[in-house]
């Protein structure tokens, strides 16, 4: 047994907690006399809405053991520095100045660049190579048919995506 596994075994035996997560931790737990995954020696309390036999891992060191949805209203209000009545106007202005407005900047893209993305990818590249080869070999009917299909595919895809995105911002 290597020194890391021996150290992990001593840690598991002394504390009853997992030495580490992963195969080495599982091996150390098995060698120390526990069975199953290294985190199952001291499992978290089982929630009633979880399937039987499925348990959550204990928190890592430095992590808070409580989950936000398990906190009481008073704990949440204390953590958010708020109250049941909400924020005062002065507190709201102070937070607005400190954190900024609660909004997401809308990204705008150039429609021409968006249209050109329909010509970028493995399948469009194959079709573009076919267009170039048809032009080099002077098979003009094939050249124009393939080119029209490539442009139609890009145009329809661009139009459908634009319609699905809804009205464009002013």
User: Is the pLDDT reported for residue 25 higher than 60?
Assistant: no
- Structure confidence at residue 13 (pLDDT): 65
Q: What is the pTM of this model?
A: 0.40
Please report where in the chains the tokens 């319609």 appear, as a residue: 163
Interatomic CA distance for residues 31 and 25, integer angstroms: 10
Model confidence pLDDT, tens digit, residues 71-84: 788 888 788 888 88
Nearest to 111 by CA among 148, 152, 165: 165
* Confidence band, pLDDT 50/70/90 cuts, at residue 102: confident
CB 36 within 8 A of CB 56: no
* Confidence band, pLDDT 50/70/90 cuts, at residue 44: very low
CB 28 within 8 A of CB 39: no
- Structure confidence at residue 87 (pLDDT): 82
* Confidence band, pLDDT 50/70/90 cuts, at residue 8: low
Model confidence pLDDT, tens digit, residues 105-149: 888 888 899 999 999 999 999 999 999 999 999 999 999 999 999
The DSSP code for 3 is: H
Model confidence pLDDT, tens digit, residues 141-165: 999 999 999 999 999 999 999 899 8
| Average pLDDT value for the chain | 74
User: Is the pLDDT reported for residue 42 higher than 50?
Assistant: no
Q: For the chain, give every domain's residue range.
A: 1-62, 71-99, 111-165
* Confidence band, pLDDT 50/70/90 cuts, at residue 1: low
């Amino acid at each position: 047994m290597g020194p890391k596994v021996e150290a992990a075994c001593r840690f598991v035996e002394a504390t009853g907690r997992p030495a580490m997560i992963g195969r080495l931790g599982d091996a150390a737990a098995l060698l120390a006399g526990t069975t199953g995954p290294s985190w199952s020696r001291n499992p978290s309390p089982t929630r009633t809405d979880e399937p039987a036999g499925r348990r959550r891992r204990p928190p890592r060191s430095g992590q808070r053991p409580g989950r936000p949805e398990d906190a009481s209203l008073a704990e949440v209000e204390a953590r958010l520095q708020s109250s049941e009545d909400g924020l005062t106007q002065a507190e709201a202005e102070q937070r607005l100045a400190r954190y900024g407005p609660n909004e997401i900047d809308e990204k705008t893209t150039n429609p021409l660049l968006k249209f050109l993305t329909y010509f970028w990818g493995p399948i469009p590249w194959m079709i573009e190579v076919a267009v170039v080869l048809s032009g080099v070999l002077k098979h003009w009917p094939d050249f124009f048919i393939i080119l029209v299909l490539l442009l139609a595919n890009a145009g329809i895809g661009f139009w459908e995506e634009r319609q699905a995105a809804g009205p464009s911002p002013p």
